[in-house]
């Protein structure tokens, strides 16, 4: 199941994947997800909610921005479904918008459903994408523990930063 409001993006999803498309996270329910085949105790809920309110290039309204505020519906689905795993992504500005209070809300919402959480800023250029595209990736695991840390951090790489794929031009 995918949920995407933008018509053009929905078209791309429909062309590339044979699955159910829902058009609005505000109306998507846990029952919709389960009817589509989602199994909470084995499932991974992923979300890349709109970043315009969090971006340093925008007005920095955070969750007060109607687009970035759609996080509340991701949190609602997490509470209704209680999936085993959560993977979220947003711009690094999420960490600092509203003096970090919006990110604290995200962490509090994840803790509220019983998830242990780890986060890390990753750059797409280190994963074969020919552009610099930094994103904060948040991993949650129901029941806590070190599982999210093990997903995001390689034991030999924890003390430092990953090397760039190419030298500066």
Where in the sequence numbering do the catalytic residues fall? Answer: 51
Edge-first strand listing for the sheet containing 44-47? 44-47, 85-90, 134-142, 115-123
3-state secondary structure string across the chain: CEECCCHHHHHHHHHHCCCCEECCCCCCCHHHHHHCCCCHHHCEEEECCCCCCCCCCCCCCHHHCCCHHHHHHHHHHHHHHCCCEEEEEECHHHHCHHHHHHHHHHHHHHHHCCEEEEEEEEEHHHHCCCCCCEEEEEEEEECCCCHHHHHHCCHHHCCCCCCCCCCCC
């Amino acid at each position: 199941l995918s949920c995407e409001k933008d018509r053009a993006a929905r078209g791309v999803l429909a062309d590339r994947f044979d699955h159910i498309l829902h058009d609005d996270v505000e109306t998507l329910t846990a029952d919709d997800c389960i009817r589509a085949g989602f199994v909470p105790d084995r499932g991974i809920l992923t979300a890349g909610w709109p970043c315009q309110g969090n971006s340093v290039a925008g007005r920095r309204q955070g969750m007060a921005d109607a687009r970035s505020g759609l996080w509340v519906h991701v949190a609602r689905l997490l509470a209704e479904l209680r999936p085993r795993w959560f993977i979220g992504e947003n711009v690094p500005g999420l960490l600092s918008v509203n003096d970090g209070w919006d990110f604290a809300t995200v962490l509090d919402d994840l803790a509220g459903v019983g998830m242990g959480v780890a986060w890390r800023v990753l750059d797409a250029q280190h994963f074969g994408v020919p552009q610099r595209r930094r994103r904060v990736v948040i991993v949650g695991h129901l029941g806590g523990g070190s599982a999210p840390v093990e997903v995001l951090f390689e034991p030999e790489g924890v003390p430092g930063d990953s090397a760039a794929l190419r030298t500066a031009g």
